[in-house]
Amino acid sequence: MTDFEPRIVAFLCNWCTYTASDLAGTSRIQYPPNVRIIRLMCSGQLDPIYVAKAVLEGADGVLIGGCHPGDCHYQSGNYKARRRVAIIHQVLEQLGFDPDRVWLRWISASEGQYFADTVTEMVAALKEKGPSPFRRQWSV
């Protein structure tokens, strides 16, 4: 599985992690091109259905990026996102799907390097795990 390139769907908060990804780009920080970014106004805006959709469509990983605790632009969106991610992890695990394919990371707007490092780390971890078991499932 050496030529396996994981596909990551990233849901990033406009005020922090999305800006960090932008910063990584403009600062020419290298990171793997495996991530498809979807910008949200807040991590708390993420309905778990989008994560489920990505997972069932065969995304190898899902990254959710929000502001550090206490820093949410809308006060508490990231705390709500954190609960939802805990629920997502529990549900996926019960269904026999590796919950560690869904990552939550707090990455502030100035942490371009940390964003790049996170993507690099996640790509490496997913290469270890191999392709999502849903990648080739046509009967979902």
Partner 1 sequence: MDGWLEVHDSTEQTINRLLETLLTSGVVDGLLVPLRTPDGRNAVPTLVRDPALLERAAPLAPVLPVNGATVLGRITATGAPGRVGAVLRNCELRTAVELSKVQQVLLDDVLLIGMDCLGAYGVEDYARLVEEGLDAVTPALMAAREGGVEPLPGYAFRPACTMCERPIPGVGESYAPHIAIGLLGVPNDERLWVSLRDEELGEALGLEPAEEPAGRIEAVRALVAARTAERDRRFAAFHERVHDASSLLAEFATCILCQNCMRVCPICYCKECIFRTDVFDHPSARYWDWAARKGGVRLPSDTLLFHVTRMLHMAHACVGCGMCSDACPSGIPVADIFRTVGRAVQARFGYVPGRDPAEEMVIATFREDELRELGER
Write out the residues near partner 1 by the rule CB under 8 A. 48-49, 51-53, 55-58, 66, 68-70, 76, 78-80, 82-88, 90-91, 93-97, 104-106, 118, 121, 133-140
In whole angstroms, what is the distance from residue 101 CA to residue 68 CA?
A: 21
Cβ of residue 26: shortest distance to partner 1, in angstroms?
A: 24
Question: Are 110 and 23 spatial neighbours (Cβ–Cβ below 8 Å)?
Answer: yes
**Nearest approach, Cβ of residue 23 and partner 1 (Å):** 18
The encoded tokens of residue 130 equal 């191999």
Give me the sign of the Cα torsion angle 101, 105, 109, 113: negative
Cβ closer to partner 1: 28 or 49? 49
- Cα dist from 20 to 24, 78, 92, whole Å: 6, 16, 28
Nearest distance, CB of residue 7 and partner 1, angstroms: 11
Cβ closer to partner 1: 26 or 96?
Answer: 96
